[in-house]
Structure 1
Amino acid sequence: MPSLSKALQLINNMGWRYVSFRAMHEAKVRTGIFKKAFPQDPAFQQFISLAEWKKLDVAFFMNGRDGVDLTGKALPAELAKSFEELKEGWFRFFSSLSYNLGSNYDWITNPDTGFKYGAQKHWTQINDYSQEAGDIKFVWEKSRFSFLYTIIRNDAYTGEDHSEWVWKEILSWIDANPINSGPNYKCSQEISLRVLNWTFALNFYKDTTSLTEDIFQRIIFSIYWQLDHVYKNIDFSRIAVRNNHAITETLTLYLGGLLYPFFPKSALWKEKGKKWFEEEIAYQVYADGTFLQFSMNYHRVVIQLLTWAIRLAEVNKESFNAVVYERAQKSLEFLLSCMNLKDGWLPNYGNNDGALFFKLNDADYRDYRPQLEALSRALGFEWKYDKCEDSIWYGITDRNTEGGTVETKIGLSQFKDGGYYIHRQDGILTFVRCGNHKDRPHQADNLHLDIWRNGINYLHDAGSYKYNTDNAQLKYFMGTQSHNTIMLGDYDQMEKGARFIWYHWSQCESVQTTDNEDYFIFEGTIKAFQHVSKNIRHYRRITVSKKKPEWLIEDRILNKPDALEMHQLWHTKHLSKLNFVAQLQNKEQIAPLIREGYYSDYYGKKELCSEIVFTTKADTISTRITIL
C-alpha cells in the first residue's frame, strides 16, 4: 500500500475525479455490474441489408477500389516483400518484429510468451498486466487488423482481388472472440482501431462478389457491439487514462455514428463522439501544438486520427470546432520543428510502443513524413518535402493548397507549453526538453538533450522497449538512466510508483535562451529529486557553437546531499565520432566510465549502445562534446 504522503500526492497530481472514478470503476468490476452492462451473448439482429448499405448517402475516403488510382504504377519492392511474408503467415509486430502465426492463429495466444488467454472469460476478468502472460500488446497487435493495409495496397497496385482472404481473417476473429469476452475486448482503443480498419476494408472491397450478405451481416453485427462497448466504457479513457486512447475512442464513436447511421444508437454516438473528440483535442494538444503525453510517437498517432477526422467530416460536408483545425496545424509546426529533414526521423523522445495505426506507405516506421504530409494537405497546406502515398488513400491528390505551407524553421523554435527548445542550423539539430507537468509524465527525462547532425542522431533517447517486462528494464527505459541528463546516486528524477505512475513530478522553474552570431545558449532549471530532498534543483546550461559541431554542457545540482554522487549521462551509437571532455569547477578533468547501455528504436527490440558516465561528489560538471 502506498504511504499516506504518496496517496495525497496521487490525489493532488491526478485529482479527486480520477481517484473517485478509479475506485468506482473497480467496484463495478468486482460486483459484476460491468458483467451485466457488457453482455457476452447478445441475440443476433440485422440492421441493414448489403444492398441498402451500398446505397447509403455516406462518403468514405474512396468509393470502392476504383476510387484509388494506383494501377499502372510499379508495385513497390518493400510492399511486394511484405505481402509475400504475410501470405506465408509472417506478421509484423510494432513495425519491427516478425512472428510466424501461420494461417490458423487463435487470436488469443501471446506469440512472445506462448501464454493463452481465456476466450470465454468476460473482458473484466482478463488481467492485462501479468508477468506470466507477458505483454498483452503482443496479443492485441494482429487483432488491430493493421495488416489489412498490406493486402489492400497490394490489390490497388496489382489489380488483384484478395478480398476473400480479408473476410476470412475478419470472420476468424469474430468466431474466436465472443462479444465482450477475452483479451481483445480489454482495451477500447484496440476495439476502436479494429473497427476503423474493418471499415476501411469494407469500403475498399464493397463491390467485390466475395462480400456476401452473410459475411456483411456478421461483420456489421460485430461492429455494432464493439462500438457499443466503446461507448459504455468511454469514461475510463476520458477520466482514468486521458491520452491518445480517449482521442481514438471518441473519434471512433463519431465516425461510427457518421458511417453507420442505421444503428439504433448512431445519432447518440455521433453527437457525443464529436463533442468529446473536440474536447479531447482542445485539452490534450496544447496551444503551442505540443501533446500532453510528451511523446513523439503518440503525437503522430494523433496526427493520423486528425487526418481521418478532418477528411471524413469534409467529404460528408461536416466540420469540427475551430480548435481542432488550429491544434492540427500547431501540431504540424511542432513536429516539423523536431524532424530530421534527411529521412523524416524525429528524436525517439517519450513513450513509444511501435504504434502506426494506418500504414499506407512503405517508409520506415521512424519516418514521420507520410503522416505529416497527409495532415498538411488535408488542411490545405503545400507540402515541400518528399511526397508519399498516404494522401492518395485519403483522396487528396489534387488538393488546393491555398492555405500556404508549414515547414521547418531555421534557428530557435520554442514550445513553452510542452517545454521543448529546438535549435536548427547548418544540418545540426539540438533538442532540449525542459517541461512543466500539469499532466502526468511518463519518463523521468527532464533536461534531456538530443543532438543530430546531417541526419545522424549522435546523442539519442532510448525509447521504451516494453511496457510489461522485468523491473530492471522498466527502471532503465522509463527512468532517468537511459536519458541524456543527470542522476543522483541511483535515484531517478522522480519516484516510480506502480505501472505508469510517478510521484514527485519534476517541474521546470525557469528557462532563458540567448541567440547571437556565435552561439545559441539554453539555460534551464528544474525542480527534481524531490523524494531525496525538497530543496534540490538541477540547472543545465547548453552552449551550442555556430562555428563548429560543438556543445558545452554545464550541469549544477543545487542543494545536493553531500553523500550522493552526481552522474552525468550520455548515450550514443557513434562513440568513435564523438569527443567528450568533462571537468569540475576547479578545472580538474573527470575520467569517463564507458559501459554498455541500451536503446529501442522499435518497441519490443532492445539494442546495445554506449553509455558514457561522468561521476563526482561535487555539485557541478562541465562537459564539452565535439563531433569529430
Structure 2
Amino acid sequence: MSKVLYYFITFLSLRKKSLFLYIIFKAKLKTGFIRKYVYNQEYGNELYKFSVGSYKHDTNFKSHTLNAEILNSANEIACGVIRLFKSNQSIKILASTDWFAFPEHSVIKPWYELSVNDVLGHDIKLTWEPSRFNWIYDLGLAYKVSGDVQYITAASHLFKSWLDYNPYNNSINWVCAQECSIRALNILLFLDQIDAKINGDMYDFFKMTVDRVALTLDYSIAQDNNHSITESAAIFILSTFLINCTHARKDDKLKYQLLANKGKKTLVNSVNDLTLDDGGFAMYSANYQRVVLTVLTLVEYYRRTHSLPDFSEQYLDNCKALVLSLRDIVDLTSGHSINLGANDGTILFFNRLGSYLDYRPAIQTASYFFIGKLIYNSESANAGLYSLGIDTKDVEYYFDSLSVSESKNYRSWGLTKYQLSIEDCFLFIKYPSYFFRPSQCDLFHMDIWIRGINYLLDLGSYSYNDSGFISSDLSSINSHNTVCVDDIEPMPRLGRFLLGCWPKTNQLDISHSFWSGEYKSIFGYVHSRNISIDGACIYITDTLHHVKNKASLNFNLPSSNWSLYENIISNDDVSIEVEKTSTMDINLISGFESKFYNQVSRIAQFKVVDYPNNETVIIKTKITIKEAK
C-alpha cells in the first residue's frame, strides 16, 4: 500500500477547519505576506534592570521544607546552572552562546528563514527549554521568600546574557510563538513576585512579544493542540497588562484592547473545542493536559488578581472537567500519572516545586481555582498554591472517587479505568477513539498500578529529534502492553507529529468486571481483546485474525526482582502467566522507558511471540495481584 494512500486516508480524518487554517498560513508565509508584518526593534538599555521597593515578607511563606527547595534551586541558578525539563540534566551559562545547544541554533537571521530540527539529533527543545525563562520565575520566588537581592541580580545578569544573542525577530528563540509566550509570562510573573516598577523598555518588550505571537495565532489554532491555548492566554494576559500600564499610549490602548479581546475569544474557543466530551484533552497526553491546566490556572489567577470579568460557564465547566479527568489517571499516593501519550518535559510557572513526576500540585492548584476545593491533603500537593502565596487552611476538600471494582469509561478519550477489589490497585485500558491526531500507537494498551507502583508501563516518548530510533520505538505498538502483528505498525508514521490511518474500536463492551473491544488495521489484520476481572485476577484473551508470520505480546515491567519460570513471570506483588502453546517463544529481556524528556532508564520486558500454523492466533494471559506483605 503506497504512502500516498496513507496520506489520503488520514486527510479524511483530519479536521477541515484546521487544514484550511494551516494551508492559509503556509500560503501567507510562502508569498511573503507574513514578512511584511515582521519588524526589527532594538531592546532598550534598561530592559534587564529591575527596580524594586522595600522588601515586605509574606507570612504565608512559612514552610521550611518548601522554602529550602526554593532557595536551593535559586542558588544553583544564581551560579549559572539551569536545569532542563525539571530533571538532572542541566547547562551552565558562562557566555551568551551557552544558551544554544547546537551551533546552528545561534544563527542570527529573521525567524521565518530559520529551520528547526533539520539536523538529526539536534533537538531544538534543548535550546528552547532554558529560553522559556522558567529560571526567572524560580529566582523571583526565592526573592519573595527570602528578600535576598542576589536573586534579582542573578535574574538581571542572565536576562542580559540572553538578550545579547537573541535579537528580536532574528533568533531561533523567536521562531515558535508558544516559546515566546511562555518566556514573557514567566517574566511577568517574576515582576509580580518582586513587586518591580515597570520601565518603558519592559513595556516595549511585552508589546514586541504580543505582536510576534499574534502574527501566527491562526497557525497555532490549526495545530489542534496546546499551542493555541498558551498563545491566546499570553495575548490576553499581556495585552490586558499593556493597556493598564502607566506607559500605555492612547493608540496602544486601542490596539491592545482589541488584541486582548481576540486573545480571550481564541482562548475560550480553543478550550471549548479541544476539551473532549468526558474531560480529556485533544492530545491524548497526560503531561500536555497538565500543561494546559497550568496555563488555564494562570489565566484564572490573573483574572482574579486584576478583577477582570468572568469567563463563560461552558469554558469554566470544561476547565473543571480537565481537572477531574487528569485526577483520575494520577496515583493518589505518589502523584505519578500513567505515562499516557507524548511527553515533552514541560512543567510551568507555579507548579515547578517538587518532582516533575508529581502531578498533584498542578491538579490541586487548578482544583482550587476551578472547583473551589482541594483534592489532596498534603503539603507537597499544595506546592503550587504555596508558590502563589495562597493560604489553604480554610479551603474545603472535594471527594469523588471510584467505588471498589467500579469502572469509569472515557469514550471520547479512549480510556477505561477499573478500581480493583484489592486496595489501591487500578487497571487502565487504552483503545482507539480518535477525533484528533494521536501521537502514540497504544491500541488496547493496558496499565496496572499496584499500591502506588506502575507495574504495566507506558514508555513515554523521549525526544522530538533523536539521532537513533528511541523515540519511534517508544511510541510504537511494540512498546505498549498489547499485541503487534507481523511487526506492522497499525498507524504508519507520516511525519514527526502525524500518525496515519487511525483505526476505530468496534464491538466495545464495558461492564464493572468485563471489557471487550476489537479494531481492524488498514493492513488487514483484526485484533480482539477481552478482559475479565475476578477479584485479584485479570484474565486477558487476545484473538488475532489474518496473521501471516507472527503475533507478539508485550508487557513492560519496572526493573525489579523478577523470576521467569517457563510461562510465568512473577515478583512479590504480581505474577503474569501466559497459556503456552508449542509455537510460542517466551523471554524476559531488557528495555527502555522515558519518564523525563531526553532521558531513558532501564526496564524489563516480558515478550511472548507466537509463530502460528494458521492465520488465527489466540493468546490467553492471567495476571494475579498478590496481597500486600
Aligned partners of 2:407 and 2:511 also within 8 Å: no
SS at match of 1:250: helix
Query: Which residue of 51, 67, 79 maps to 1:88?
Result: 79
Could you tell me how far 1:197 is from its partner in structure 2?
A: 0.3
Matches within 5 A, 1:131-142: 131-132=119-120, 134-142=122-130
CA distance in 2, matches of 1:100, 1:526: 46
SS at match of 2:458: coil
Query: Which residue of 431, 434, 446 maps to 1:434?
Result: 431
CA distance in 1, matches of 2:187, 2:514: 50
Matches within 5 A, 1:196-595: 196-207=185-196, 216-239=199-222, 241-261=223-243, 262=248, 263-264=252-253, 265-315=255-305, 316-360=307-351, 362-379=353-370, 380-387=372-379, 388-394=382-388, 396-397=390-391, 401=395, 405-410=398-403, 411-425=406-420, 426-470=423-467, 472-515=469-512, 520-527=513-520, 529-530=521-522, 532-533=523-524, 536-546=525-535, 548=536, 550-558=537-545, 560-561=546-547, 563-573=548-558, 574=560, 575-576=562-563, 577=571, 578-583=574-579, 590-595=584-589
Aligned partners of 2:60 and 2:390 also within 8 Å: no
Could you tell me how far 1:132 is from its partner in structure 2?
A: 4.9
CA distance in 2, matches of 1:109, 1:155: 27
SS at match of 2:283: coil
Could you tell me how far 1:474 is from its partner in structure 2?
A: 2.9
Aligned partners of 2:7 and 2:494 also within 8 Å: no
Aligned partners of 2:144 and 2:194 also within 8 Å: no
Correspondence 1:609 to 2:603: yes
CA distance in 1, matches of 2:91, 2:178: 25
Residue 46 to residue 163, structure 1, CA distance change in 2 (3 Å): closer
CA distance in 2, matches of 1:119, 1:320: 42
SS at match of 1:493: coil
The percent of aligned pairs where both chains have the same amino acid is 23
CA distance in 2, matches of 1:448, 1:163: 48
CA distance in 2, matches of 1:473, 1:464: 8
Matches within 5 A, 1:190-201: 190-201=179-190
CA distance in 1, matches of 2:90, 2:285: 27
CA distance in 1, matches of 2:474, 2:352: 29
SS at match of 2:407: strand
Could you tell me how far 1:76 is from its partner in structure 2?
A: 4.0
AA aligned opposite 1:217: G
CA distance in 2, matches of 1:30, 1:75: 50
Residue 21 to residue 374, structure 1, CA distance change in 2 (3 Å): closer
SS at match of 1:389: helix
CA distance in 2, matches of 1:324, 1:19: 24
CA distance in 2, matches of 1:407, 1:195: 37
Correspondence 1:147 to 2:147: no
SS at match of 1:605: coil
CA distance in 2, matches of 1:238, 1:41: 27
SS at match of 1:304: helix
Aligned partners of 2:353 and 2:384 also within 8 Å: no
SS at match of 1:147: helix
Residue 331 to residue 20, structure 1, CA distance change in 2 (3 Å): closer
Partner residue in 2 for 1:57: none
Residue 106 to residue 400, structure 1, CA distance change in 2 (3 Å): same
Residue 18 to residue 74, structure 1, CA distance change in 2 (3 Å): closer
Residue 17 to residue 246, structure 1, CA distance change in 2 (3 Å): same
Aligned partners of 2:477 and 2:489 also within 8 Å: yes
Query: Structure 1 stretch 364-373 or stretch 216-225: which is displaced more?
Result: 216-225
Residue 190 to residue 218, structure 1, CA distance change in 2 (3 Å): same
Query: Which residue of 157, 164, 173 maps to 2:145?
Result: 157
SS at match of 2:510: strand
CA distance in 1, matches of 2:55, 2:517: 54
AA aligned opposite 2:486: G
AA aligned opposite 1:597: G
Cα RMSD (Å): 2.8
Structure 2: tracts of 5 or more residues without a match: 564-570
Structure 1: tracts of 5 or more residues without a match: 55-62
Could you tell me how far 1:44 is from its partner in structure 2?
A: 7.2
CA distance in 2, matches of 1:571, 1:65: 52
Query: Structure 1 stretch 33-42 or stretch 302-311: which is displaced more?
Result: 33-42
Partner residue in 2 for 1:599: 593
Could you tell me how far 1:589 is from its partner in structure 2?
A: 8.5
SS at match of 1:523: strand
CA distance in 1, matches of 2:400, 2:334: 15
Could you tell me how far 1:145 is from its partner in structure 2?
A: 0.6
Could you tell me how far 1:361 is from its partner in structure 2?
A: 5.2
Residue 396 to residue 252, structure 1, CA distance change in 2 (3 Å): same
AA aligned opposite 2:541: E
Aligned partners of 1:65 and 1:204 also within 8 Å: no
CA distance in 2, matches of 1:543, 1:298: 31
CA distance in 1, matches of 2:343, 2:131: 19
Could you tell me how far 1:88 is from its partner in structure 2?
A: 2.8
Could you tell me how far 1:268 is from its partner in structure 2?
A: 1.2
SS at match of 1:266: helix
Partner residue in 1 for 2:567: none
SS at match of 1:260: helix
Could you tell me how far 1:119 is from its partner in structure 2?
A: 4.0
Residue 540 to residue 140, structure 1, CA distance change in 2 (3 Å): same
Residue 68 to residue 7, structure 1, CA distance change in 2 (3 Å): farther
Could you tell me how far 1:566 is from its partner in structure 2?
A: 0.9
Could you tell me how far 1:592 is from its partner in structure 2?
A: 1.3
Q: CA offsets, 1:50-94, max 9 Å, x none?
A: 99x99xxxxxxxx99656731584664433432332233221111
SS at match of 1:338: coil
Q: CA offsets, 1:435-467, max 9 Å, x none?
A: 311111111102110011111111110001011
Residue 588 to residue 38, structure 1, CA distance change in 2 (3 Å): same
Q: Figure out how many residues of one structure are paired with residues of the other and give that number.
A: 592
Could you tell me how far 1:481 is from its partner in structure 2?
A: 1.5
Query: Structure 1 stretch 592-601 or stretch 135-144: which is displaced more?
Result: 592-601
CA distance in 2, matches of 1:317, 1:361: 26
Residue 198 to residue 508, structure 1, CA distance change in 2 (3 Å): same
Aligned partners of 2:25 and 2:218 also within 8 Å: no
CA distance in 2, matches of 1:375, 1:218: 33
Q: CA offsets, 1:346-404, max 9 Å, x none?
A: 101110111101144532111111111111111212334323221134454258757x6
Aligned partners of 2:141 and 2:193 also within 8 Å: no
SS at match of 1:129: coil
CA distance in 2, matches of 1:428, 1:434: 20
Aligned partners of 2:333 and 2:452 also within 8 Å: yes
SS at match of 1:601: coil
CA distance in 1, matches of 2:459, 2:539: 22
CA distance in 1, matches of 2:608, 2:125: 37
SS at match of 2:367: helix
Residue 545 to residue 364, structure 1, CA distance change in 2 (3 Å): farther
Aligned partners of 1:445 and 1:493 also within 8 Å: no
Query: Which residue of 158, 165, 169 maps to 1:176?
Result: 165
